[in-house]
Structures are given as C-alpha cells and as structure tokens.
Amino acid sequence: MTLLTTILGLLAAATEGPVGGGFWMPRQASTAADVVDSIFFFILWISVFFFVLIVALMVLFVIKYRRREGHESAKTATHNTALELTWTIIPLILVIIIFYVGLRGYVGMIQEPRNAYEVWVTGQRWSWTFEHDNGAVQTNVLTVPAGRPVKLKMTSTDVIHSFYIPDFRKKQDVVPGRYTYLWFEAPEPGQYQLFCAEYCGTQHSQMAGIIEVTAADEFDDVIAQKANWIDEYADEDLPRAGLRLYPRCQSCHTLDGSPLQGPSFRETHRLWGQKRIFADGSETVVDENYVRNSILNPGAQIVMNYPNVMPTFQGQLKEREIRALIEFIRKLDEVVDEQGGPRE
Ligand code: CUA
C-alpha cells in the first residue's frame, strides 16, 4: 500500500491547485477533501494515460499498416491468449485498486467520529435553517467550530434538497419525512459556500448559504451569543431581524404575493391600515395587534378562503421576535423585493 500511497501523493501534488483552490478544484477546506481529490486525480491520470496510449497506437498502426501497392493483406488473428490475459488482468487490478481507495474514502465519509458537534438542519423551499442544542437558530448561515467534527441531522419540510459544500467535498440529499446525516471537520476558520444541489423549484439556485467556521476557542461564546441573536439588533433593524425569522413562516406564507396554506405576507403588507375580512364575516384593521394575534392565536381570525391550519407560536417566540415579525410585515417593501428576495 505504501507504493500506492506514494503514487497517489505524487499525482495529487503534481496536479492540484494551491489550498486556496486551483484550476481543477475549489480549495480543500475539510479533512475529507484531500482523500476525495486524490482518488479523483488517480482515476483522471489513469484515464489520461490510457487515452494517450490508445490514440497514439491507433494513429501509428493506421499509418504503418495502411493498404499499399505490393503488400498482401495479412490474415486477421482470431486468438492470442497472452494478449487477452494482459488486457484483462491489468484493468482488473486497476479497478480493484480504484474500488479499494473509493470504498475507504466512502466509509470515512459516512462514519462520523463520536465527539461530533451536532446541529439540526431543515431544508425548505428555499432556505436552510440550523438549530443548535443551546437554542440558537440560524438561517442560511451555519456557525461551527474549527478543528472539530460536526454532524448534521437533516430533514426537509417539502421536497428533496441536497446539502452541498464544494470546499468540503461533501454532499448529501435532504429528504422530507426522514433524517439524513452528513459530517465534516474543517481545520481552518473561514467562510465556505453552501449550495442546494437538487433542483427544488423556481428559486433552487438561490437556496445557498455560508458555513462559518469559527476558531475553536471562540466558538462557545459566539454560539451562546447567537442563542440571543435578536438582542444584537437595534429597533430600527427590526424588519431585517424579522426577515431572519421568516424561514419559520415561509412554508405557508410567501413574500411575493402568491397564496400558499396562508395568505402572503405581501398581501397583509398591502392591507396595512385597511380592513381584512374573515371567514366568519367579521372584519378588522390590519395592524400590530392583528399580526400579533395571528401569531399567538391563529385560529381566532381565519382569512377568507384559507384553511385553519396554523399552529400557535405562543411560548415559541420572544416579545422582541414578535415585534420583529410585525415590523417585517409592515415594512416589507424596505426589506424584500417584489419576488421576496432580500434587498441590499
Ligand atoms: Cu433546495 Cu434545490
């Protein structure tokens, strides 16, 4: 195996870009990246070698054995045991080696170490929500410690998504109705791009995020702060704080005006200060009290033509968070555009 390891090492060293990323690959930012790239380049260079060999021999033979005046064409050989054994045994050995290194890399990728830091991940059209054990909830940004294994326990509320971090060489489907797992260890603090790699609807390409790897000795403080993240915001930033809470609403309430299970926040925004009519024929003015009541006691006023399906958020949201959602809806146009994408 030492010979193989040496060959793999030489090939990788000869071909890979700098750690910051190169022509072939993005930067190597997890403990798995090196293994994945080594196998990729191992297979790539075997393929290149045989491509060049076969094409060169083909061209050579076409020229050398072309039909010419005064040359008898030879009888086609029907059998050559030595040749057939050679072209069977050499590829067999090669594919066994590829299988072995591939299997070893795969097993290392699916078996997470025992002391992993664990995070719950929810994929939903079209964002990622991360829940830490200390209560911190993050949207589209995941903060994790450097140099420590991180295990993600992932599910989806709607369709199949795929959690993909190219710099880590890690990808895993996120499936509704079950948990799937992905683990990684990023040695260096930094920011790494997260993508959704499974087509999941019109905004699939915008279902991206950032993995924020924080120095191990700072991580505990940072994540404790995030558990109270809304306190970081001054009052004038409440609408933006509301936008960060919005993933908890978005499976039923859109921002672009289209109806889902519940009325779009844009519709509620447009009706601010005006009357809204409910299923029982009653009506009320859309204001702070109406939105607050709809969050805490959703069954009390059901908007016409919508089902009574929303669970109460009583006890799940702090007063400050309720205020953030109210301000988010009231000032919706300042925070998001017509399609519901965040404004800069
Ligand atoms: Cu989620 Cu594509």
How far, in Å, is the centroid of ligand 1 from the Cα of 323?
Answer: 30
Q: Which atom of ligand 1 is nearest to the CA of 199?
A: 2
How far, in Å, is the centroid of ligand 1 from the Cα of 207?
Answer: 6
Please give the share of the chain, as a percent, with pLDDT higher than 70.
Answer: 90
Q: Taking residues 174-203, report their average pLDDT.
A: 91
Q: Which atom of ligand 1 is nearest to the CA of 198?
A: 2
Q: Are residues 221 and 250 in the same domain?
A: no
CATH of the domain at 262: 1.10.760.10
How far, in Å, is the centroid of ligand 1 from the Cα of 298?
Answer: 29
Two structure tokens written together for 162:
């795929």
Which range among 2-16, 181-195, 243-257 has the greatest average pLDDT? Answer: 181-195
Ramachandran category for residue 177: left, alpha or beta (phi over 0 → left; psi -120 to 50 → alpha): left
Q: Is residue 64 part of a domain?
A: no
Q: Tens digit of pLDDT for each residue in 273-299?
A: 999 999 998 999 999 999 999 998 888
Q: Tens digit of pLDDT for each residue in 20-58?
A: 567 778 888 888 888 888 899 999 999 999 999 999 999
Q: Are residues 98 and 145 in the same domain?
A: no
Q: Is residue 195 part of a domain?
A: yes
Instruction: State if residue 244 touches ligand 1 by the CB under 6 angstroms criterion.
Output: no
Instruction: State if residue 128 touches ligand 1 by the CB under 6 angstroms criterion.
Output: no
| pLDDT (0 to 100) of residue 330 | 93
How far, in Å, is the centroid of ligand 1 from the Cα of 156?
Answer: 10
From 196, 227, 258, the end of a domain falls on: 227
Q: Are residues 91 and 132 in the same domain?
A: no
Q: Are residues 206 and 169 in the same domain?
A: yes
Please report, as a single letter, which amino acid is at residue 89.
Answer: I
Nearest CA residue ID for atom 1, ligand 1 = 161
| DSSP one-letter code for 153 | E
Residue 215 clears pLDDT 70, i.e. is over it: yes
314 contacts 297 by C-beta, under 8 angstroms:
yes
Q: Is residue 180 part of a domain?
A: yes
Instruction: State if residue 174 touches ligand 1 by the CB under 6 angstroms criterion.
Output: no
| Residue 297: φ, ψ to 5° | -140, 65
150 contacts 184 by C-beta, under 8 angstroms:
yes
| pLDDT (0 to 100) of residue 137 | 80
| Structural domain span for residue 12 | 2-57+83-110
Q: Are residues 277 and 315 in the same domain?
A: yes
Instruction: State if residue 161 touches ligand 1 by the CB under 6 angstroms criterion.
Output: yes
| Residue 211: φ, ψ to 5° | -95, 115
Two structure tokens written together for 298:
């959703």
Q: Is residue 62 part of a domain?
A: no
Instruction: State if residue 39 touches ligand 1 by the CB under 6 angstroms criterion.
Output: no
Q: Are residues 30 and 127 in the same domain?
A: no
How far, in Å, is the centroid of ligand 1 from the Cα of 158?
Answer: 10
Q: Is residue 323 part of a domain?
A: yes
Q: Is residue 65 part of a domain?
A: no
192 contacts 156 by C-beta, under 8 angstroms:
no
| pLDDT (0 to 100) of residue 98 | 92
How far, in Å, is the centroid of ligand 1 from the Cα of 119?
Answer: 19
How far, in Å, is the centroid of ligand 1 from the Cα of 173?
Answer: 10
Instruction: State if residue 207 touches ligand 1 by the CB under 6 angstroms criterion.
Output: yes
**Domain count along the chain:** 3
Instruction: State if residue 213 touches ligand 1 by the CB under 6 angstroms criterion.
Output: no
Q: Which atom of ligand 1 is nearest to the CA of 207?
A: 1
Q: Are residues 171 and 255 in the same domain?
A: no
Residue 311 — pLDDT band, cuts 50, 70, 90? low
Q: Are residues 240 and 218 in the same domain?
A: no
Pairing of strands 190-196, 283-285: unpaired
From 198, 227, 256, the end of a domain falls on: 227
pTM of the model: 0.63
Q: Are residues 222 and 237 in the same domain?
A: no
Give Cα separations from 199 to 202, 204, 262 (angstroms). Answer: 9, 6, 24
Q: Taking residues 329-339, report their average pLDDT.
A: 90
Q: Is residue 296 part of a domain?
A: yes
Residue 305 — pLDDT band, cuts 50, 70, 90? confident
Please report, as a single letter, which amino acid is at residue 154.
Answer: M
Q: Taking residues 142-148, report their average pLDDT.
A: 93
Q: Are residues 151 and 49 in the same domain?
A: no
Q: Is residue 39 part of a domain?
A: yes
From 185, 200, 227, the end of a domain falls on: 227
Q: Are residues 289 and 194 in the same domain?
A: no
How far, in Å, is the centroid of ligand 1 from the Cα of 184?
Answer: 20
**DSSP assignment of 39-52, as one string?**
HHHHHHHHHHHHHH
How far, in Å, is the centroid of ligand 1 from the Cα of 37?
Answer: 25
